[in-house]
Amino acid sequence: MASRDPATGVLPGEAADDSQSSGEFPITTRGRGHEILDALATAVVVVDDRGRIEFANQRALRVLACSATTLLGADVGRVLAPFELIRKAAEAAEGDEARQTVKLPDAAEVVIGFHVRKLPAELDSDGESYTVVFQDITQWERMRDERDRLMRLAAVSEVLPSVLHELKNPLAAIGTAVELLVEDCTDLDLQERLHAVLPEIRRMTLTLEGIGSVGRDLSSGRYGAVDHALRESFRVLERQALERGIGFECAVKDMPLLPFDVAMVRAIVFNLLTNAIHACRRGDRIRLSAELTQDSPSLLRVSVDDSGTGMSKEEVERCRELFFTTKPRGTGIGLALCDRAAQAAGGRLQVSSQRGQGTTVTLEVPVRAPVRHSPGSAAGTT
C-alpha cells in the first residue's frame, strides 16, 4: 500500500494544500483523512496483503478494546477475523454483512458485523490491501434472537391447542383400552407387559397436560389434593429413574385440600423431576420434598433436589427463559412454564445450582384462601 508523507499525512496523489484546488467537494478534507476516520462512529481498519493491520481508527480501538500499539502490525486473524474471511468478504455483494464472534482481551465475546472492500489501486500501489468497516452488533444479534423467539412462540401458540386436542383424546382411548386388556388378560406374562405400558401412557398424558397448561392459573377457585398430585407425578417417573440407577426419594408431607389446580401442580413437578432425571447419572440421587409452611399466609413449598450435572452461572440465569435449552431434543418450555405459573400465583421459582454438584429448584406459592381439611387427612410424609 502507498504510504503517507509523515509530515503532512498526505497520500501520493493527494493535494497537500487543498486551498489551491477547486471542485464540487471541499478538497481540504483530503489531507485530514486520519482525523476524519477517527471521528467516524464506525470502526475502520486497513489490512495489508499479508493480513497485518496497518491502520485502525479510534472507534476500532474501542470496539476491539485494544491499544494502537497492540493493534498496529497485528495479525488480523488474531484480533478480528481470519484473513481468508476478510478476503472472501471483499468479494461479497454490496450490502452483504459478514459476521464474526470475537474474543476481546478481557475474555468477553462480542459479535462483529463487517464489510470489506479492496483499497482502490491508486491508493495501493504495492499489493492488495483491504478496508474493513465494522461494528459491534452483539445487541442487534440479541434483539434478532428475541424476535425469532417471539415469532416461534406465536407460531407454537397458534397450533398448540389443536395439536394437543388431536393427541390427548386418542391417548386417553389407548389408556382405557390397555386398562381393559390388563383386566381381561389371563396370560400373566402378557398381563405384566401390558401393565408396564400404563405408566408410559400416564407419562405422555402428563407431558401433554404440562404443555397444555401454559398460561393457565396455578391458583384455582377449586380445591385439590396437592399432596396426592405431587406423589402421582413422582410415581409416574419412579420406574424411569430407578431403571437408570438413580436414587429417587419422595418426602411429600400430607396436606389439607388447597386452592390450586392439581393438573398444574402435576405438570410442574413432572417437569422438575424430568429435568433432574436428565441431569443425573447412575449413582446420583433425586429428592422431591413438599410441605405447607406455618407462615401467614402459609406457603406451599415444593423442592426438587438432585446431585446431577448442575448448571453454569449463565445457565442458571437463563434456564427460566422460554425456549432456552441445552438439550439436543429439548424444547426449553418446562422451566419457563413453571416460573410463569409460580409468578402468576404470587409465588416464585428459585433455582440454585453448581456445575458438577447438582441443582435445587424450589417452588413457593402463597396459599391465599383458607385451606380445607379433607376427611381422614393426617400429618405425615410419604
Ligand X SMILES: Nc1ncnc2c1ncn2[C@@H]1O[C@H](COP(=O)(O)OP(=O)(O)OP(=O)(O)O)[C@@H](O)[C@H]1O
- The angle, 0 to 180 degrees and rounded to 10, between the axes of the packed helices 334-344 and 262-279 is 140
Q: Does 307 bind ligand X (CB under 6 A)?
A: no
Are 46 and 131 a contacting pair, CB within 8 Å?
yes
Q: For ligand X, how many residues bind (rule: CB under 6 A)?
A: 23
For the CB of residue 140, give the shortest distance to ligand X in the complex, in Å: 25
For the CB of residue 302, give the shortest distance to ligand X in the complex, in Å: 14
For the CB of residue 169, give the shortest distance to ligand X in the complex, in Å: 22
Q: Of 74-82, 231-239, 241-249, 333-341, which segment contacts ligand X by CB under 6 A?
A: 333-341
Q: Does 362 bind ligand X (CB under 6 A)?
A: no
Q: Read out DSSP for 251-269?
A: EEBP--BEEE-HHHHHHHH
Task: Give the nearest residue (CB) to Mg ion.
Answer: 334
Identify what 77 binds: Mg ion, ligand X, none; CB under 5 to 8 Å per kind. none
Nearer to Mg ion, 268 or 292 (CB): 268
Nearer to ligand X, 99 or 301 (CB): 301
Non-local CB neighbours of 166 within 8 Å, separated by 6+ positions: none
For the CB of residue 274, give the shortest distance to Mg ion in the complex, in Å: 6
For the CB of residue 303, give the shortest distance to Mg ion in the complex, in Å: 16
Q: Does 163 bind ligand X (CB under 6 A)?
A: no
Within residues 42-71, the interface with ligand X by CB under 6 A covers none
- Element housing 23 (H / E): none
Angle at 218 between CA 212 and CA 223, to 5 degrees: 115
Q: Which of 87, 177, 199 is nearest to 132 (CA)?
A: 87
Q: Does 335 bind ligand X (CB under 6 A)?
A: yes
Angle at 299 between CA 295 and CA 304, to 5 degrees: 130
Nearer to Mg ion, 223 or 323 (CB): 323
Residue 228 phi, psi dihedral angles, 5° rounding = -65, -40
The one among 327, 348, 368, 372 contacting ligand X by CB under 6 A: 327
C-alpha cell at 335: 422451566
Identify what 276 binds: ligand X, Mg ion, none; CB under 5 to 8 Å per kind. ligand X
Binding-site ranges for Mg ion (CB under 5 A): 275, 334
Nearer to ligand X, 306 or 364 (CB): 306
For the CB of residue 148, give the shortest distance to Mg ion in the complex, in Å: 21
Are 262 and 275 a contacting pair, CB within 8 Å?
no
The one among 269, 336, 341, 345 contacting ligand X by CB under 6 A: 336
| Alpha helices by DSSP H, the chain | 33-39, 58-63, 68-71, 76-79, 83-91, 138-184, 188-212, 226-243, 262-279, 313-318, 334-344
Are 207 and 270 a contacting pair, CB within 8 Å?
yes
Nearer to Mg ion, 52 or 318 (CB): 318
Residue 276: what residue type? Answer: A
Q: Read out DSSP for 81-125?
A: S-HHHHHHHHHSPTTPPEEEEEE-TTS-EEEEEEEEEEPPGGG-T
Nearer to Mg ion, 259 or 334 (CB): 334
The one among 330, 348, 354, 369 contacting ligand X by CB under 6 A: 330
The one among 171, 315, 366, 377 contacting ligand X by CB under 6 A: 315
Identify what 331 binds: Mg ion, ligand X, none; CB under 5 to 8 Å per kind. ligand X
Nearer to Mg ion, 134 or 248 (CB): 248
Q: What is the rounded distance in angstroms from the CA atom of residue 382 to the CA atom of residue 380?
A: 7
For the CB of residue 284, give the shortest distance to ligand X in the complex, in Å: 10
The one among 42, 240, 325, 374 contacting ligand X by CB under 6 A: 325
Residue 148 phi, psi dihedral angles, 5° rounding = -60, -40
Residue 329 phi, psi dihedral angles, 5° rounding = -115, 20
Residues that bind ligand X (CB under 6 A): 271, 275-276, 279, 306, 308-311, 315, 319, 324-327, 330-336, 359
